Amino acid sequence: MLPVPAVPADVDAIHALRRSLEDWMAARGTVQWPRGSLPRERIAAQVEAGEWHVVRDDALGLVGTVRLLWTDPDFWGDDDTPAAYVHGLMVDRRAAGRRLGPALLDWAAAQGRAAGVELLRLDCRTTNPALRSYYESHGFRAVGQVDFADFSCTLLELSLGVGGAAYVGHMAQQQRTYPQGVTSWVDIEQRDVDAALEFYGAVLGWTFHQASPPGAPRYVIAQVDGLDVAGIGEGADDPGWHTYVAADDLEPVLDRIAAAGGAVTTGPTVAGEGGTWAGFTDPQGVPLRLWHPKRRLGAQLVNAPGAWNFSDLRSDEPASAFYTRVFGWEFADLGFGTMIRVPGYGDHLAATTDPDIRERQASVSVPPGFEDAIGWVAPAEGEAPHWHVTFAVADRDATAALATAHGGTVLDREDTPWALTTTIRDPQGALFSGSQFTPPS
């Protein structure tokens, strides 16, 4: 579905879509578009000026929009660099998972190239780091900030020069990959899959699609903005969250696990065309899993609201030597915590899906080596040693309220210099954390 010029008959639908997304973001604690900030009359004038383009679906009606400008003095001042400017990028939540957002960005880039301009530009509120990360994952670079009376925006741009066509399309479709030894996926197995979908869909904003074939044990992929973030499967033995470590070849890793004092507990088990997994325990008995990917490479969105943030080893006596021998992990004691690193992982990210990782992290003064971080070690605090899963959230308190409203139990809340966190038990007994990133100013 390609965008077409909007007509006056589309004004009400554009306005309704904008209002629905304003309400949705407000409920999630995301600060981007305040309610009522784009009146219908302004949309009508912009449609009349030919600025809006829309995507229509035969069943759902208008499902996507983009507003394309050729000057933008309100945000970019008197900069006369030839550029196309994107505003009003919207996708109906009913169409989530169709990758309309990347398609609209690709379309806008194509319009810019056809017009002979050098750059595609857009902006997002500085209070919406998840949206900035989304744009950066599609090749945009932050180049400045504009301050208004009551809010500020990050300015981002994408080069449309030689090779730009391939670059934009590549970034829009490039999948996130995981080198061996990097944690790559999380999932959960619960007795009542439908109840799990209802809870996590409400609390973390997930949409879902069925991954398992008919007749096989049920396995559902959770997505945020059409990108895979976690799995929910059918099972009765352990309702908790599982973490997987990427493996290029399972057998040598399983051999190292046994030689280092661990125990293989499950598999290897083929998971259809997705890949093959195996389960093991470290010398302390802490369970962890391996994932050798085929079609499913791992989480495709991380560190954004609703997506996986980190898995932490909760243990008072972590088996550090075991993990170093098996995976090559390094454990860095930073005083306030112990960071787990895979040397070279930051180089991999910079060369693939996150070219600006070091510059972005430097802007918030993260610890040295943080680009290689895959997790942390934390005290067990009276629990059996385990791997604990944390998801990024836009608003810690709003997430806690949603969890309570949908049958979960909020166990604690903690304010740290870097994050506001909460630990939650879901209705079927699984523990996880929500973390709102609040770096020091």
pLDDT digits (tens, 9 = 90+) for 169-204: 433 346 788 999 999 999 999 999 999 999 999 999
Contact 408, 199 (CB under 8 A): yes
CA distances from 207 to 227, 233, 235, 388, 392 (A): 10, 15, 20, 23, 16
CA distance 138 to 124: 14
CA distance 72 to 123: 11
Q: Structural domain boundaries of the chain?
A: 4-173, 183-250+296-437
CA distance 205 to 28: 8
CA distance 320 to 316: 11
Give me the helix-helix angle, 164-173 and 100-114, nearest 10°: 180
CA distance 124 to 51: 19
The domain 183-250+296-437 having CATH identifier 2.40.10.10: the answer here is no
What does DSSP say about strands 373-378 and 338-341: parallel, antiparallel, or unpaired? antiparallel
Residue 153 has pLDDT above 60, yes or no: yes
CA distance 87 to 145: 16
Which residue has better confidence, 389 or 136? Answer: 389
- Considering the segment(s) 4-173 as one domain, its CATH architecture is 3-Layer(aba) Sandwich (3.40)
Of the candidates 348, 439, 346, which has an alpha carbon nearest to the alpha carbon of residue 392?
A: 439
CA distance 160 to 166: 10
Cβ neighbour number for residue 41 with a 10 Å cutoff: 10
Per-residue pLDDT, averaged over 47-69, amounts to 92
CA distance 207 to 205: 7
User: Is 326 strand, coil or helix?
Assistant: helix
Which residue has better confidence, 415 or 441? Answer: 415
| pLDDT band, very low/low/confident/very high, at 161 (cuts 50, 70, 90) | low
Q: What is the pLDDT of residue 272?
A: 78
Q: What is the four-CA torsion angle of 21, 23, 24, 30, rounded to 10 degrees?
A: 100
- Read off the amino acid at residue 303: N
Radius of gyration of the chain (CA): 23
pLDDT digits (tens, 9 = 90+) for 331-342: 999 888 899 999
Model confidence, pTM: 0.65
Residue 268 has pLDDT above 70, yes or no: yes
Of the candidates 395, 367, 316, which has an alpha carbon nearest to the alpha carbon of residue 127?
A: 395
pLDDT digits (tens, 9 = 90+) for 378-405: 998 888 999 999 999 999 999 999 999 9
- Read off the amino acid at residue 352: T
Per-residue pLDDT, averaged over 56-83, amounts to 91
Contact 217, 229 (CB under 8 A): no
CA distance 159 to 168: 9
